[in-house]
């Protein structure tokens, strides 16, 4: 049995009947676009967060993009974020015509180094876009203090942090608005693409609803400001309604895998293997389980021989990608981000990861790291 970093088939086997029933619910409903399934999911996802509003959209990238647009970010504005993230965070900033401004990350938790944010603020800065990377929340108290002092909007990128908490508060409830992805690998994953933006701000939500629907007020069929076609698909919404009832169970499953890795590999710190650390007040959901070792490439290569394929999240910091060379960040401009990109790697992580595979991963990593 090969171990992959992610696989949905064991879950599909367990949930198949219910998922197919969700598909049939939509196909039999007489309404294939928006309608009761999307409305229902939006209400339930907002309720899960204790927020007033949720707008379903077609994917996480557009959740960030429409979220930025709805909180007032546009051409000429600057948005502060990190380069150690999934490229779509940055693609979305570019998509509204704004300029991404990168701040380095911290060695300890791979999250935005908040001490460096103030120096990155200029008169053109419009918003902060903290990314709750790998499933652990950014220190939102510090982010919100800065935002308030400088009059900036805060959009949380929660694509990796469904169900994560920071001092008891759920990811997605701490900014002006928050963008989620339901890409299949995510902690709450659809069986295809999906996304959502949650907010307590009625005006922001009203704007999101127009933006995902060509820019129209649905009842008037008139475009005032041109938007996009970015609706959440009804079939995915109905599937997500079923899966949302199990979100906390999925998170528990991920934490159980993380505990097993910690027990099996924690003593290898003296051999240079660093496992994820959890900041005080944070409840991690382990979207990916990111370890670190100076001989990362050799570990990945050796594990292939054991039938274990590992991933790197992410091997190329966004500022080093050719598509973002225009931003002018040279090599060495974000030293911690660049150094970590050469040392991090992800162990298999999903709630239905069979225990035999977890044990196989642990013993293989032990053998390889101890052989150095």
Binding site for ligand PLP (CB under 6 A): 59-61, 64, 85-86, 88-89, 131, 157, 159-160, 181, 183, 193, 195
Is the CB of 189 or the CB of 302 nearer to ligand PLP? Answer: 189
Least Å from the CB of residue 179 to ligand PLP: 7
Please identify the residue of the shown chain whose CB is closest to the bound ligand PLP. Answer: 60
Is the CB of 132 or the CB of 360 nearer to ligand PLP? Answer: 132
Residue at token pair 């051999």? 271
Nearest to 196 by CA among 74, 183, 252, 313: 183
CA 352: distance to chain centroid?
A: 20
The torsion region of residue 292 among left (phi > 0), alpha (psi -120 to 50) and beta comes to beta
- CA atoms within 13 Å, Cβ hemisphere of 327: 25
Is the CB of 112 or the CB of 365 nearer to ligand PLP? Answer: 112
Least Å from the CB of residue 187 to ligand PLP: 10
Is the CB of 160 or the CB of 173 nearer to ligand PLP? Answer: 160
Alpha helix stretches (DSSP H) within 8-165: 9-27, 36-49, 60-70, 87-95, 117-120, 140-150
Least Å from the CB of residue 132 to ligand PLP: 8
Least Å from the CB of residue 87 to ligand PLP: 8
Least Å from the CB of residue 156 to ligand PLP: 10
Is the CB of 130 or the CB of 348 nearer to ligand PLP? Answer: 130
End-to-end Cα, the chain, rounded Å: 26
Q: Say if CB 6 and CB 352 are below 8 A apart.
A: no
């Amino acid at each position: 049995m090969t171990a992959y970093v992610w696989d949905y088939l064991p879950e599909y086997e367990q949930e198949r009947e219910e998922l197919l029933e969700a598909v049939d619910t939509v196909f039999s409903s007489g309404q294939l676009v928006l309608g009761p399934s999307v409305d229902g999911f939006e209400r339930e996802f907002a309720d899960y967060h204790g927020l007033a509003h949720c707008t379903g959209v077609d994917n996480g990238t557009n959740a960030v993009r429409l979220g930025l647009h709805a909180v007032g970010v546009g051409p000429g504005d600057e948005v502060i974020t990190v380069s150690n993230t999934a490229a779509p965070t940055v693609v979305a900033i570019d998509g509204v015509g704004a300029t991404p401004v990168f701040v380095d990350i911290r060695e300890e938790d791979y999250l935005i180094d908040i001490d460096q944010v103030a120096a990155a603020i200029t008169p053109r800065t419009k918003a902060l876009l903290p990314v709750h990377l790998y499933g652990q929340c950014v220190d939102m108290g510090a982010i919100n203090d800065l935002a308030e002092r400088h009059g900036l909007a805060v959009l949380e990128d929660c694509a990796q942090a469904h169900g994560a908490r920071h001092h008891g508060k759920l990811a997605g409830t701490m900014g002006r608005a928050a963008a989620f992805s339901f890409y299949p690998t995510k902690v709450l994953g659809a069986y295809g693409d999906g996304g959502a933006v949650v907010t307590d701000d009625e005006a922001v939500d009203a704007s999101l609803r127009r933006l995902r629907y060509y820019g129209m007020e649905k009842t008037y069929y008139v475009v005032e400001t041109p938007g996009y076609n970015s609706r959440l698909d009804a079939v995915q919404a109905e599937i997500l309604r079923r899966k949302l009832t199990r979100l906390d169970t999925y998170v528990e499953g991920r934490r159980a895998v993380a505990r097993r890795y910690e027990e099996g590999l924690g003593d290898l710190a003296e051999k240079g293997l660093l496992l994820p650390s959890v900041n005080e007040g944070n409840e991690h959901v382990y979207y990916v389980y990111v370890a670190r070792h100076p001989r990362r490439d050799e570990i990945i290569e050796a594990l292939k021989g054991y039938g274990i394929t590992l991933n790197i999240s992410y091997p190329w910091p966004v500022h080093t990608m050719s598509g973002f060379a225009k931003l002018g960040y040279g090599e060495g401009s974000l030293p911690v981000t660049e150094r970590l990109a050469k040392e991090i790697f992800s162990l298999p992580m999903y709630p239905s990861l069979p225990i035999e595979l977890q044990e196989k991963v642990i013993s293989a990593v032990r053998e390889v790291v101890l052989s150095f």
